[in-house]
Amino acid sequence: MDAVISVDGLVKEYGKLRAVDGISFSVPTGKVYSFLGPNGAGKTTTVEILEGLRRATHGTLRVLGLDPWRDAGEVHRRVGVMPQGFRFFDKVTPLEAVQYYGRLFDVQVDAPALLKRVLLEEKANDTFDKLSGGQKQKLGIALALVNDPELVFLDEPTTGLDPQARRAVWELLRELRKEGRTIFLTTHYLEEAENLADQVAIIHHGKIVTEGSPAELIAKYGRGPRIVLEATPELLKVLQRVPGLSSEVKGNQVEVPLHQKQVLIDALQAIAASGLVWPDISTQRDTLEEVFITLVGEMEEGGEVRA
Amino acid sequence: MTRPSDPSSDPLAPSLPSSPAHGSRAKGAARRRGFLRPSHVWADFVLYTRAYMRNPEALFFSLLFPVILVLLFGAIFSGSSAPSAVPLYVQNLDGQNATTLAFYHYVEETGLVTIHNVSASAGPLGTYLSQHSESNGIVIPAGFGEQVWNLTHGGRGVPVALQVYDNPFDSTSAAIVSGAVQLALQNFKGAPVAYLAKAVPVGSLSFTPKTIDFEIPGLIGFAILMTPMFSMVNVTSEYKKEKLFKALSLTPLTKGEWLLSKILFNWLLTFLAAAILFATGILAYGAHVIVGPLLIPFLLVGPLLFVSLGMLIGTVSKRAETAGIIGNLVTFPMMFLSGSFIPVSVMPGWLQPYAKVWPLYYVIDGIESVSVFSDVTHALIDLGIVSVMAAVAFVAAVLVFRWREE
């Protein structure tokens, strides 16, 4: 498998502080690879090292087969980057910004078409300081695409976007992937990683805690799909007599893993025989969010994670 | 940092399907990055200029504010002030000759001047005047009385010149001194006045400069200082804060190209400001300025110096706010002490040495040497000083300024 990025034993030290503590991973061509982690976990530092903006303290790394620090010029020609909290010159319009990047990269760029692609065509002639937070982010994405990059780094591209704009950006990322581009996505929205990423690495305190596809991680660390029965006290008494079920009772909820087929059938038959009804029944499965909480820490409101 | 020895060991990513939405790489695009590519410099210059032109506040301070100052200073200094007795320092080298004493008396009698005697042993009057921060004086040379006597009594004599020192920054008092001398000489009928009243001011001038003529070099200096200094302090500290340098370093634009574009922009603005200032001075107050070719190096080296200094301040300051404060601490004293508004030569004597520590002093002094005095030698000395300072500041700024972090 071709690796667009390969990292082995990467360490970044600031004095005595180890921001990145010996991480290794590789990003296959044409996939969406997502870095997930709380603030200060070392995500941005790692990404900036991959982009050639910072120099690694130790470790081997290749981006498109190049050393991103030494061969920064060549790397920058071939990758697109939207930095975290993207900012541009206040008095420059998106149209001018795209044309400017086109001249710097020596490419013919259809600026209006590119702005249309990121849903910014209506603001093409407004100066940057007049754009909303979401529109600024979109310009950041547009500029990352000017040089038709093989590899795109997006550092928290949807932070501050409203749900609708966020979905639109997701759609764009799916299109970019279809075009064969590799996407390195840093995010602290778990839903985003689950929706978009082929591979997720959860990073915490400068180390990769675990890595895999969202489904693999859920299967590995989650509790698997299950039926959850809301029960009345009478119903609980009935259910407690079902063999193999007693240990699954939690308050007035009874959880039955789907793979325990016989237990499930026995339980439903017992309920039918008693003539009682359940107030509520649902199926549940763990999301990346639950996995993340288990592995890293507590959740913050709005789906953001804090260490 | 580990560096793999063979950069070509990994195969490159496979080619991509070309995207119809945006462009393909231009053919023949240079693979190697040259240090300075004119197309990059031009693209950055155009973008920056355009953005600057959209900033009314910046434009006001760069172009309009100096014009307002010219109009203001012109109005202040061209107003007629009520003449009062001007102090006049007289050094009599002709002893007690009766005619000389009579002339002395007639000058005093005009009431236009208050005479202070300077003894012959005090040394050259010019030196004495500058040591005492005074400007108006007359030297009565030895043999003066006898010559005047001869000339007024039909005899022939060697023409004698009175040496008159006056203040080129103060045309009013200069005129008063001249008037007093002329009036006194009228008492010696038959004496050829032309021989006697010969002004010897600071330099050898073909005209009497007015205050406005000195204000213009000062305000051009002001423009050379303000725009480059403030824009670069602001740009370097704000770009750092807003991570704009980071964004730019992800493009093929190099540090050198970016810097050159900023220098070009500041040159453009300085030339514009200088042209506007000259035009305003000439049209509004009839200023007499000599626009010599030697002005050009000052308009190039000056902005380079302050671009570098501004960049240095913006780069070494950790925070944008600190950069602003340091910028002000350097800029404002320099602006006032270097003669932007008030010529250094009319400042109190004790203050003048402090003017000469600021780079701007040499810029203004040099421009003044060209545009007022046509004094090439003096201008070249100033230019040399400014060039050395600019070179040091530029090298320091380039060394300190980082595009990327280690």
pLDDT score at B109: 80
pLDDT band at residue B204 using 50, 70 and 90 as cut-offs: very low
pLDDT at B37 over 80: yes
Query: Mean pLDDT across chain B, nearest whole number?
Result: 78
- CB contacts of A66 in chain B (<8 Å) are 7
SS3 state at B161: coil
pLDDT score at A95: 97
More confident residue, B360 or B142: B360
pTM of the full structure:
0.73
Least confident of A206-220, B75-89, B351-365: B75-89
Of all residues in chain B, the one with the smallest CA distance to A178 is B17
> B51 and chain A: CB distance < 8 Å anywhere?
yes
pLDDT score at B167: 65
> A69 and chain B: CB distance < 8 Å anywhere?
yes
Of all residues in chain A, the one with the smallest CA distance to B403 is A53
Q: Do B250 and A81 touch (CB under 8 A)?
A: yes
More confident residue, A137 or B95: A137
DSSP category for residue A247: G
Nearest-CA neighbor of B83 among B103, B117, B105, B110? B110
Min Cα–Cα distance to chain B from A212, Å: 22
- CB contacts of B24 in chain A (<8 Å) are 107-108, 148
> B402 and chain A: CB distance < 8 Å anywhere?
no
> A67 and chain B: CB distance < 8 Å anywhere?
yes
Over residues B107-111, the mean pLDDT reads: 80
Q: What is the pLDDT of residues B296-307, one digit of tens each?
A: 999 999 999 999
Distance CA B295, CA B270 (A): 12
**Residue entry with tokens 């006056």:** B166
Q: Do B50 and A96 touch (CB under 8 A)?
A: yes
Of all residues in chain B, the one with the smallest CA distance to A116 is B21
Mean pLDDT by 10 residues, chain A (307 residues): 88 91 94 90 91 93 94 93 91 96 95 93 94 91 95 91 88 94 91 92 90 89 83 82 72 80 85 84 85 70 45
Min Cα–Cα distance to chain A from B45, Å: 10
Residues A197-233, buried b or exposed e (16+ Cβ, 10 A)? Answer: bbbbbbbbbbebbbbeebeebbeebbeeebbebebee
pLDDT band at residue B131 using 50, 70 and 90 as cut-offs: confident
- CB contacts of A73 in chain B (<8 Å) are 33, 252
pLDDT at B21 over 60: no
pLDDT score at B32: 45
More confident residue, B210 or A132: A132
Q: Do A114 and B243 touch (CB under 8 A)?
A: no
> A170 and chain B: CB distance < 8 Å anywhere?
no
More confident residue, B28 or B91: B91
- CB contacts of B42 in chain A (<8 Å) are 103
Q: What is the pLDDT of residues B249-259, one digit of tens each?
A: 899 998 889 99
pLDDT score at B24: 41
Which of A6, A48, A67 has its CB closest to that of B7?
Answer: A67
pLDDT score at B83: 43
More confident residue, B42 or B7: B42
* Chain B, window 216-255: residues with a beta carbon less than 8 angstroms from a chain A beta carbon: 242-244, 246-247, 249-253
Bridge partners (DSSP) of residue B118 are: B91
pLDDT score at A248: 63
Cβ-based neighbours of A104, under 8 Å, separated by 6 or more = B40, B43, B44, B251, B252, B253
Q: Do B47 and A92 touch (CB under 8 A)?
A: yes
Over residues B10-26, the mean pLDDT reads: 39
- CB contacts of B4 in chain A (<8 Å) are 60, 62, 67
> B47 and chain A: CB distance < 8 Å anywhere?
yes
- Read off the tokens for B181: 């001398």
Distance CA A275, CA B108 (A): 133
Helices (H), chain A: 43-50, 72-78, 94-105, 111-117, 133-145, 163-178, 190-196, 214-221, 233-240, 261-274, 288-295
Which of B8, B16, B246 has its CB closest to that of A83?
Answer: B246
Which of A92, A103, A114 has its CB closest to that of B21?
Answer: A114
Distance CA B382, CA B403 (A): 33
Least confident of A249-253, B276-280, B397-401: A249-253
The single-letter code of the amino acid at B61 is F
